[in-house]
Amino acid sequence: MLVDLCSHNFKVFREEIGDVHLGFDLNYVKSELEKVFGVEKVEKMSEGCKCESSGRSTELFIAIAKN
């Protein structure tokens, strides 16, 4: 199981919450997982991630794969 940020353009997240990337495109995640695993699902979650100091938020995704 993998939980991470969906792709976003909030560069301020790097400075405020230490993000090293700007999220992942769900199609990319699914295609990379399919190279090695059987993918059960890759979808956006109902809750997001909010940066308290800036008030910005972005979506999270969950990916479930099995070997």
DSSP sequence for 12-62: HHHHHH--SS--B-HHHHHHHHHTTSEEEEEEEEEEEEE-TTT--EEEEEE
Domain count, the chain: 1
Q: In whole angstroms, what is the distance from residue 7 CA to residue 22 CA? A: 6
Q: What is the pLDDT of residue 34?
A: 97
Arithmetic mean of pLDDT, 53-63: 82
- In the predicted model, what is the mean pLDDT of residues 24-28? 96
What per-residue confidence (pLDDT) applies to 51? 66
24 lies in which domain range?
A: 2-66
pLDDT tens digits, 34-44: 999 999 999 99
Average pLDDT over residues 5-24: 81
